Amino acid sequence: MNEVNVVGHLINGEMVNDDVRTQAVFNPATGVAEKKVALASKQTVEQAISAAQAAFPEWRNTPAIKRARVMFRFKELLEQNTDTICRLIGEEHGKISHDAAGELQRGIENVEYACGAPELLKGEHSKNVGPNIDSWSEFQPLGVVAGITPFNFPAMVPMWMFPLAIVCGNCFILKPSERDPSSTVYIAQLLKEAGLPDGVMNVVNGDKEAVDVLLTDERIKAVSFVGSTPIAKYIYATANANGKRCQALGGAKNHAIIMPDADMDNAVNQLLGAAFGSSGERCMALSVAVAVGDEAADALVEKMTGAMKNLSVGAHDNASNDFGPVITQAHKDKVEGYITSAQNQGATIVVDGRQPQVKGYEEGFFVGATLIDGVTAGMESYLAEIFGPVLQVMRVKTMQEAMQLINDHEYGNGTCIFTRDGEAARYFSDNIQVGMVGINVPLPVPVAYHSFGGWKRSLFGDLHAYGPDGVRFYTKRKTITQRWPSSGVREGATFAFPS
């Protein structure tokens, strides 16, 4: 393999690659390992932390409006380079170009939110909290903070983190997914072109070895993580044990309730994109449809089966494809294994996407859209996050029964109800134990000026990602109480709180 194809690290404004260990990066449509990624050693990560630490004093004191101006230029550069970014996402993740553009747009919206830094960081002020005493709270940066991100949104999820962290005055170390690192590194390089001083943003590629340095080095003050639940739990526990602030977003199992009064054609259309878009490799993918009543269930399965005939799975650079391959051969095997296990445990495979034939891409990691009916709560395929283009249908008699299923599931990321009944929708949103709720909206991903986060084992920590919670996460409150006696201190000592 040509060494030119090794994706390195961005440290102190330079691309670096001194590491001995590397890992193959596949094009999942062809099944060919077209690149390698450097896996950072402890020394490499420490070098990045030192660069960030050195850049912090000056960046912290740079006026918020100047920090925001870098983000304005960065947003323009992201828009100018959309085609390159989407191609890089497509080549390593497999996402179709229109889907990659959607991901990038959602990332850009987080940059736009970060452009409001002077407003976001204004703090709180109270005059005369006592006689001639004023008090205010300001939000100071933490120092060097880290982000660890998953493969499924190599552009968007990092941009949930670093734009806001940076405008808040922090320096950042990003550890992207080692499975599709190129678009992330490319985006980070644009920050330098936007005028960001060297060392403020650094990217280290790697695996557990790199992550463990970020979790234990005392110079790292906070860690944002997005990925699977077992790793989220580990990250949260280890970061906390090392005295760091941490938010760790995990996996999901998102249910849609289909009420008997739902507009079924609309529900089917919405479910198609929400279940199979991006090959189901979204933490907000709707992977379970709970139909209330057999009539709704039968109509759903029939219409869904018809609509799925028109779906096309294929390579990223053909925009007429609806979705691409899954990320690795191992993941394809896992997804197909869950389909087989549902079948073995008594469910009906209505549309079988196992081993699809994609002409010209015979070695690709493709799984076709799959519909499974008659899934029940004890099945392995129901309990696990499949993270593939698989929609499972469950049949219940009442809305209460449907809600109980959702509330009993270990995950609580997103959910949705399809209904025409406002009272039912209101009851649902009030009582469902899930962090992000849609009413006739299948993927209720909060916009950049709200915050993103699930409940239960979908998020470890207190604050959600980006938006207002993001500002709180990347700053620490300092409250100052001030008095300026008009001519020297006139009062004697007091030994009780002034009343």
Stretch that binds ligand NAD, among 111-119, 146-154, 311-319, 356-364 (CB under 6 A): 146-154
Which C-beta is closer to ligand NAD: that of 11 or that of 121? 11
**Region binding ligand NAD by CB under 6 A among candidate stretches 78-86, 98-106, 221-229, 392-400:** 221-229
Report the alpha-carbon distance of residue 398 to residue 435 in Å, rounded: 22
Closest residue to ligand NAD in the complex (CB)? 227
Instruction: Lay out the site mask for ligand NAD across 96-135 (x = CB under 6 A, - = otherwise).
Output: ----------------------------------------
148 binds ligand NAD (CB under 6 A): yes
Q: Is 149 in the site for ligand NAD (CB under 6 A)?
A: yes
Tell me if 458 contacts ligand NAD by CB under 6 A: yes
Interface with ligand NAD, residue 211, by CB under 6 A: yes
Cα(414)–Cα(416) distance, rounded to whole angstroms? 7
Contact range with ligand NAD by CB under 6 A, out of 50-58, 110-118, 249-257, 422-430: 249-257
- Among the listed residues 162, 186, 382, 387, the single contact to ligand NAD using CB under 6 A: 387
Contacts of 173 (CB under 8 A, 6+ apart): 45, 48, 49, 52, 144, 145, 146, 147, 202, 203, 204, 214, 220
Helix (H), strand (E) at residue 424:
helix 422-431
What six digits make up the tokens of 265? 């054609």
**What kind and span of H or E run contains 160?**
helix 156-167
Q: What is the CA radius of gyration of the chain?
A: 25
DSSP for 280-335?
G-STT-EEEEEEESHHHHHHHHHHHHHHHTT--B--TT-TT-SB---S-HHHHHHH
Task: Name which of 90 and 454 has its Cβ closer to ligand NAD.
Answer: 454
Applying CB under 6 A, among 182, 202, 413, 451 the residue interacting with ligand NAD is 413
Does 162 interact with ligand NAD (rule: CB under 6 A)? no
- Between 54 and 445, CB nearer to ligand NAD: 445
Nearest residue to 328 via CA among 388, 286, 385: 388
Count Cβ atoms below 10 Å from residue 281 Cβ, excluding itself.
Answer: 25
| Calpha distance 117→250 (Å, rounded) | 28
From the list 86, 115, 171, 283, the catalytic residue is 283
Using DSSP's 3-state secondary structure scheme, residue 70 falls into helix
Are 142 and 113 in contact, with CB atoms under 8 Å apart?
Answer: no
- Amino acid present at 362: E
Among 145, 161, 213, 226, binds ligand NAD (CB under 6 A): 226
Residues that bind ligand NAD (rule: CB under 6 A) add up to a total of: 27
Whether the Cβ atoms of residue 150 and residue 178 lie closer than 8 Å to each other: no
Q: Does position 396 bind ligand NAD by CB under 6 A?
A: no
- Asked whether position 249 contacts ligand NAD by CB under 6 A, the answer is yes
168 carries an active-site annotation: no
Map the footprint of ligand NAD across residues 271-290, applying CB under 6 A.
283
Q: Which two tokens stand for residue 270?
A: 């919405």
Region of 9-17, 18-26, 116-124, 147-155 interacting with ligand NAD (CB under 6 A): 147-155
Nearer to ligand NAD by Cβ, of 74 and 466: the residue is: 466
**Starting from the edge strand earliest in sequence, which strands make up the sheet with 14-16, in order?**
14-16, 9-11, 201-203, 171-175, 144-148, 220-226, 245-249, 459-460
User: Site mask, ligand NAD, residues 331-370, x = CB under 6 A?
Assistant: ----------------------------------------
Which residues, 6 or more positions from 178, have their beta carbon under 8 angstroms from its beta carbon? Answer: 23, 25, 37, 39, 205, 206, 207
Confirm or reject binding of residue 150 to ligand NAD (CB under 6 A).
yes
Please identify, using beta-carbon distances, which residue of 253 and 395 lies nearer to ligand NAD.
253
* Counts of helices then strands in the chain (DSSP H, E): 16, 23
Q: Which is nearer to ligand NAD, 227 or 364 (CB)?
A: 227
Give the interface segment with ligand NAD, choosing from 248-256, 309-317, 429-437, 477-485 (CB under 6 A). Answer: 248-256
Tokens 């499972």 belong to which residue?
Answer: 392
Q: Which stretch binds ligand NAD (CB under 6 A): 171-179, 288-296, 341-349, 416-424?
A: 171-179
Per CB under 6 A, 138 contacts ligand NAD: no
Q: Is 467 among the residues that bind ligand NAD (CB under 6 A)?
A: no
Tell me: does residue 147 bind ligand NAD (CB under 6 A).
Answer: no
Q: Which is nearer to ligand NAD, 120 or 283 (CB)?
A: 283
Residue selected from 141, 227, 324, 368 as contacting ligand NAD according to rule CB under 6 A = 227
Nearest to 177 by CA among 199, 136, 218, 205: 205
Which residues of the chain form contacts with ligand NAD (CB under 6 A)? 148-153, 157, 175, 177-178, 207-208, 211, 226-228, 231, 249-252, 283, 385, 387, 413, 454, 458
Q: Which residues are catalytic?
A: 283
